[in-house]
Amino acid sequence: MTVELNHTIVASRDQRAAAADLADLLGLEASTFGHFDVVRLGNGVSLDFMDVPDLPAQPMHLAFLVSDDVLDQVLDRVQGRGLPYWADPMHTRPQQLNTMSGGRGFYWDSPDGHNLEVLTRSA
């Protein structure tokens, strides 16, 4: 049997809002499962958002491999909201895309401080 990631829990101050925000930016739907708000990705992995009212400053990095068309759509949504984004994970190249691994990508922060990334080619 191979090992695959099935789901991970994403801590948030408002799980419903956080799941809806990410789903909207990625062009996906959010749903509920038990006491979680869930964003299901195309490869079967789910991000299960959970309320953590006193959320400590421990941001996660979540990277999403997408097609060129989807990257353009996410970028349009990020820009449409006036959100800052960066070409690099350290946030030193604002409002730019990167061309790492021969593809394109960028980073932005979730409302809970998680470092989110979309990329068209993995390393």
Q: Where are the alpha helices (DSSP H) in the chain?
A: 15-26, 68-80
Per-residue confidence of the chain (123 residues) as pLDDT tens digits?
788 999 999 999 999 999 999 999 999 999 999 999 999 999 999 999 999 988 776 889 999 999 999 999 999 999 999 999 999 999 999 999 999 999 999 999 999 999 999 999 997
Claim: this prediction has a pTM higher than 0.85: yes
> How is the chain split into domains, by residue range?
7-119
Q: In this predicted structure, what is the pLDDT of residue 25?
A: 98
Q: In this predicted structure, what is the pLDDT of residue 58?
A: 80
Within 8 A by CB and 6+ apart from 103, the residues are 119, 120, 121
Reported CATH class of domain 7-119: alpha beta
The radius of gyration computed from the CA coordinates of the chain, to the nearest angstrom, equals 14
